[in-house]
């Protein structure tokens, strides 16, 4: 298409990570491979976005409007073959060994082409992150092996993370609200484990998932004190999928209702005992909210790039649309905001590498372990060792020393601010470009109205922006007043 031609943004001839964030240049002096790898991730993701995501995103969006259960398997297989489904795993274990900075650089590229398509191959990280909260060696190794095997065999392996239920979205993410809310889901103690009942709704990949990580209380009258986290295979008796939602945006990413009708979960699949489930949610949110902010910033960039290309090609009575002063000021104003949120996003990613779970990959223990031959790492004998109680406890202690409560509080604060800033930016920019472009902006083929619809969703999921601002206020100011 004509309007895609100018070599800008996704079509820029070179990687531009350091150009866009000059401060990374200083970091490159000290840690050349850290920045070099992020540039490599950016280049890989950009190529994939141009060759695979962009050419099909509008058609997929259209197909999903007609049938919300349509899934673009060709794109998923291409992403899987490129190892984007296991990007966080160390290279020795079959992944790409991506740092959080690498992930941020790639996310921006992917989501500037299409947020929903990206969700289909990156949101699986919920499984790995969920397993790393307690960091029991047996559970983490099992998760890693399953992910690596599925990738190698080019078979899908989807994880969902289910906290929202009808009547309780924000409440399930907020400790204060949880003191008065009454969830409808319930985990009942039975011999050998728990029996789960209830409905969760708006669950990303709920219709595709092979495993669901789900939060339910053992006492609905005391949800905060009794919330537990379970790991449930979706072929378990009593689990079934309900409606796949028809959404305004991000249509290519399926969102579904899931039902639990007395689903038996053995004791060993309880990832967090009663009373610890809310902490589990909070720890995952401390990472994913920031990543949603970065993804939403990518949507804003995509909308802006489409607008710039359009305005550079559009002839008006007074020359090209981009030659109008008001258009130039509007674009400059949006670019200014984009650069500010991008800086905050990459700051967050580097902080994840420095203080949060990604730091674990950089410790002598994990680096030393990955020096072992891949065969040994994947061997059943190592799995047996990892499943030993002492090893599990050591894993938990090791992880809690790195990701302390102070670290978590800080990431909830910064992640919530970034989530709200990124998604507000996406909404503002994708709306403003439609003002600039006018009627053509309403046409599907230019992709801008899709950016607008996709952006709106980012303000709502991973906690509404109001809930994120509430958390931000509480962490930044609330303790003082």
Ligand X SMILES: Cc1cc2nc3c(=O)[nH]c(=O)nc-3n(C[C@H](O)[C@H](O)[C@H](O)COP(=O)(O)OP(=O)(O)OC[C@H]3O[C@@H](n4cnc5c(N)ncnc54)[C@H](O)[C@@H]3O)c2cc1C
**How many angstroms separate the CA atoms of 465 and 458, rounded?**
9
| 144, 128 Cβ separation under 8 angstroms | yes
Judged by CB under 6 A, which of 417, 461, 471, 475 binds ligand X? 461
Least spacing, CB of residue 222 vs ligand X, in Å: 18
Closest CA to 146 of 398, 388, 383, 393: 383
Site for ligand X, residues 273 to 332, rule: CB under 6 A:
none
Per CB under 6 A, 342 contacts ligand X: no
Per CB under 6 A, 463 contacts ligand X: yes
Closest CA to 100 of 331, 458, 339, 414: 414
Q: Give whichever of 199 and 335 is closer to ligand X, judged by the CB atom.
A: 199
Per CB under 6 A, 138 contacts ligand X: no
**How many angstroms separate the CA atoms of 416 and 467, rounded?**
9
Least spacing, CB of residue 259 vs ligand X, in Å: 14
Number of residues that bind ligand X (CB under 6 A): 24
Candidates 77-85, 134-142, 157-165, 270-278: pick the segment binding ligand X (CB under 6 A).
157-165
What are the strands of the beta sheet with 255-266, ordered from one edge? Answer: 186-190, 193-204, 255-266, 239-244
- For residues 180 to 219, the per-residue mask of contacts with ligand X, x marking binding by CB under 6 A and - elsewhere, is ----------------------xxx---------------
Least spacing, CB of residue 443 vs ligand X, in Å: 24
Residues 6 or more apart from 103 whose CB is under 8 A from it?
Answer: 41, 87, 88, 291, 349
* Region class of 365: left (phi > 0), else alpha (psi between -120 and 50), else beta: alpha
Cβ-based neighbour number of residue 9 at 10 Å: 17
Candidates 2-10, 98-106, 160-168, 294-302: pick the segment binding ligand X (CB under 6 A).
160-168
Q: Which two tokens stand for residue 224?
A: 């905060």
Least spacing, CB of residue 161 vs ligand X, in Å: 5
Give the angle subtended at the CA of 350 by the CAs of 347 and 353, to the nearest 5°.
Answer: 150
Q: Give whichever of 187 and 377 is closer to ligand X, judged by the CB atom.
A: 187
Per CB under 6 A, 85 contacts ligand X: no
Q: Give whichever of 11 and 70 is closer to ligand X, judged by the CB atom.
A: 70
Per CB under 6 A, 122 contacts ligand X: no
Candidates 165-173, 257-265, 342-350, 403-411: pick the segment binding ligand X (CB under 6 A).
165-173
Residue nearest to ligand X (CB): 169
**How many angstroms separate the CA atoms of 226 and 220, rounded?**
8
* Cα-Cα-Cα-Cα dihedral sign, residues 469, 472, 474, 479: negative
Judged by CB under 6 A, which of 20, 170, 370, 387 binds ligand X? 170
Q: What is the DSSP string of 463-474?
A: S-HHHHHHHHHH
Element at 75 (helix H, strand E): helix 73-81
Judged by CB under 6 A, which of 470, 471, 472, 475 binds ligand X? 470
Least spacing, CB of residue 123 vs ligand X, in Å: 8
Closest CA to 279 of 136, 123, 458, 412: 412
Site for ligand X, residues 221 to 260, rule: CB under 6 A:
247, 250, 255
Per CB under 6 A, 162 contacts ligand X: yes
| Residues within the interface to ligand X (CB under 6 A) | 160-164, 169-170, 173-174, 177, 202-204, 247, 250, 255, 457, 460-461, 463-464, 466-467, 470
């Amino acid at each position: 298409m004509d309007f895609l031609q100018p070599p800008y943004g996704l079509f820029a001839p070179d990687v531009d990570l350091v150009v866009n964030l000059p401060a990374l240049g200083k970091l490159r002096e000290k840690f050349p491979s850290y920045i070099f790898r992020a540039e490599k991730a950016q280049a890989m993701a950009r190529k994939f976005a141009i060759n695979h995501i962009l050419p099909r995103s509008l058609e997929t969006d259209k197909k999903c409007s007609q049938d919300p259960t349509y899934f673009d398997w060709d794109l998923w297989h291409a992403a899987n073959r490129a190892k984007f489904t296991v990007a966080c795993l160390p290279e020795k274990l079959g992944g790409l060994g991506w740092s959080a900075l690498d992930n941020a650089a790639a996310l921006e590229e992917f989501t500037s082409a299409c947020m929903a398509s990206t969700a289909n191959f990156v949101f699986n990280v919920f499984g790995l992150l969920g397993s790393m909260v307690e960091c029991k060696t047996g559970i983490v190794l099992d998760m890693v092996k399953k992910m690596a095997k599925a990738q190698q065999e080019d078979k899908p392996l989807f994880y969902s993370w289910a906290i929202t239920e009808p009547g309780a979205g924000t409440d399930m993410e907020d400790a204060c609200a949880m003191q008065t809310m009454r969830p409808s889901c319930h985990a009942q103690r039975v011999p050998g484990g728990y029996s789960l009942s209830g409905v969760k709704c708006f669950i990303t990949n709920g219709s595709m998932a092979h495993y669901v990580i789900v939060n339910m209380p053992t006492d609905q009258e005391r949800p905060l004190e009794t919330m537990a986290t379970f790991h449930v295979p979706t072929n378990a008796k009593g689990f079934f999928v309900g409606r796949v939602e028809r959404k305004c945006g991000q249509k290519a990413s399926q969102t579904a209702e899931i039902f639990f009708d007395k689903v038996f979960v053995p004791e060993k699949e309880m990832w967090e005992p009663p009373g610890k489930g809310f902490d589990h949610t909070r720890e995952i949110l401390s990472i994913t909210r920031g990543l949603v902010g970065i993804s939403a910033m990518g949507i804003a960039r995509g909308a802006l790039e489409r607008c710039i290309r359009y305005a550079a090609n559009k002839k008006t009575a007074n020359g090209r649309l981009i030659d109008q002063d008001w258009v130039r000021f509007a674009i400059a104003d949006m670019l200014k905001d984009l650069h500010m949120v991008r800086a905050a996003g990459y700051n967050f990613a580097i902080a994840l590498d420095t203080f949060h779970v990604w730091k674990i990959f950089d410790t002598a223990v994990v680096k030393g372990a990955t020096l072992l031959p891949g065969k040994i790492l994947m061997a059943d004998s190592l799995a047996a060792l990892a499943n030993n109680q002492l090893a599990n406890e050591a894993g938990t202690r090791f992880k809690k020393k790195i990701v302390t409560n102070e670290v978590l509080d800080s990431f909830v604060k910064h992640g919530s601010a970034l989530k709200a800033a990124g998604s507000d930016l996406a909404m503002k920019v994708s709306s403003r470009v439609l003002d600039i472009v006018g009627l053509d902006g309403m046409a599907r083929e230019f992709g801008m109205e899709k950016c607008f619809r996709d952006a709106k969703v980012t303000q709502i999921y991973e906690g509404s922006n109001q809930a994120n601002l509430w958390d931000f206020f509480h962490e930044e100011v609330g303790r003082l007043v």
